[in-house]
Amino acid sequence: MSVTEKPAIPLIMGATATGKTDLAVALGARFDVEIISVDSALIYRDMDIGTAKPDAQTLQQAPHHLIDILDPQQSWSVWQFVASATELIEQALARGKTPLLVGGTMMYFNALRQGMNRLPPTDPAVRDALNQQLREQGLASLYQQLSKLDAVMAARLQPTDTQRILRALEVFRISGKPMSLLQQQALPDSPFKFLPVILEVAERGELHQRIEQRFHLMIEQGFQQEVEKLMARADLNLDLPSMRCVGYRQMWQYLEGNYSHPQMVEKSIIATRQLAKRQMTWLRKYQQALRIDYRDYSLSDVCQYLALE
């Protein structure tokens, strides 16, 4: 490789329930790779069943970086992911191994590939104050406040997008500048060349059925008991990013008596399907990628594209 040539970094991408981990493990069994998880839910400890986290045997066979690194009470920003993933990529390359990034959090992938503006990191004190204001005044009040402080950003967001509204207000309170203005800063050029492999969904109905079957399996495996243990902790609540993970909020609300069991199941499955739809929308934007059917593909074709053979 020449001095100016960027190292090629494979990306395994796809919607939820498309077998991304299976493909990564298969590649890991054949080549000297280091797997780096790109998933905003798998970072949390004690959240195994509802996140479809690879089991202990799989992780022993194919260790993943950035899994089980945070307590559910903690938060994790896109900036923290980019910094951690970049460091892990560089360390793997220095060891002569191929970093293999796998997951379904498209915002993470996008930030890693395209770079990020220099937005201030999350400030726990500011975020706690905003969450308190959210509980006391409601989301509509916060959205109205954002509209006055940063009309451009408010116009980009849905009035129901709690997480991004809070983040935009947080950025303004920390920096004193609108988030939309800070995002206009030039992005740094990535030191890597990324090779996306996208697990495509040809038949959406089949994926929906797979999502439904997987959620029922999660319940059989003890998902309710997992959430009950989380609820027993005094420091966890539905305002935390961890508890906004698909399925956890719905199960929590069922256990509080807000839903019947069938309603909880239905709402969880619908939320997971909506997540898959958003992921597939992101993935359609990738123009240069190897696209393969998640149900039927050639591992040799993947290896050839990634130059692993």
Number of domains in the chain: 2
- Asked if pLDDT for residue 27 goes beyond 70, the answer is yes
What contacts 276, CB < 8 A, 6 or more positions away? 15, 16, 17, 201, 207, 211
| Mean pLDDT calculated for residue range 115-134 | 84
Q: Is residue 1 in a domain?
A: no
User: What pLDDT band is residue 1 in, cutting at 50, 70 and 90?
Assistant: very low
Whether 291 is covered by a domain: the verdict is yes
Any idea of the CA torsion for 109, 29, 15, 115, to the nearest 10 degrees?
Answer: 0
8 A C-beta contact, residue 206 and residue 140: no
> Which pTM value belongs to this model?
0.83
Q: Are 200 and 240 members of one domain? A: yes
Indicate if 40 and 63 belong to the same structural domain: yes
Spatial contact of 306 and 10, defined as CB atoms under 8 Å apart: yes
Q: Is the pLDDT of residue 2 over 70?
A: no
C-alpha to C-alpha distance for 29 and 125, rounded to whole angstroms: 45
Strand arrangement of the beta sheet that strand 290-293 belongs to: 64-65, 33-38, 98-103, 8-14, 193-200, 290-293
Write down the pLDDT at residue 112.
92
Q: Name which residue leads in pLDDT, 116 or 274.
A: 274
What is the pLDDT averaged over residues 242-250?
96
Question: Per-residue pLDDT for 168 more than 50?
Answer: yes
Task: Give the C-alpha separation, 4 to 51, whole Å.
Answer: 40
Let me know whether 211 and 62 are in one domain. yes
- Calculate what percentage of the chain has a pLDDT beyond 90: 84
**What's the confidence (pLDDT) of residue 309?**
64
Can you give the CATH number for the domain in which 213 is found?
Answer: 3.40.50.300
| Range 110-125 average pLDDT | 81
pLDDT per residue as tens digits for the range 74-102: 988 888 899 999 999 999 999 999 999 99
Q: Are residues 58 and 137 in the same domain?
A: no
Position 65 in a domain: yes
- 12 with 112, same domain: the answer is yes
Q: Is 95 inside any structural domain? A: yes
**Is there a single domain that holds both residue 177 and residue 191?**
no
Question: Are residues 106 and 16 part of one domain?
Answer: yes
pLDDT band at 144 (very low <50, low <70, confident <90, very high): very high
Can you give the residue range of the structural domain that contains 133? Answer: 124-182
Place of tokens 């726990």: 124
Q: Which of 136, 152, 182 is the last residue of a domain?
A: 182
Tracing tokens 């910094």 back to the chain, one arrives at: 83
The answer as to whether 299 is a domain residue is: yes
User: What is the predicted pLDDT for the residue at 186?
Assistant: 64
138-152 as b/e, with b when 16 or more CB fall inside 10 Å? eeeebbebbbebbee
**What CATH number is associated with residue 131?**
1.10.20.140
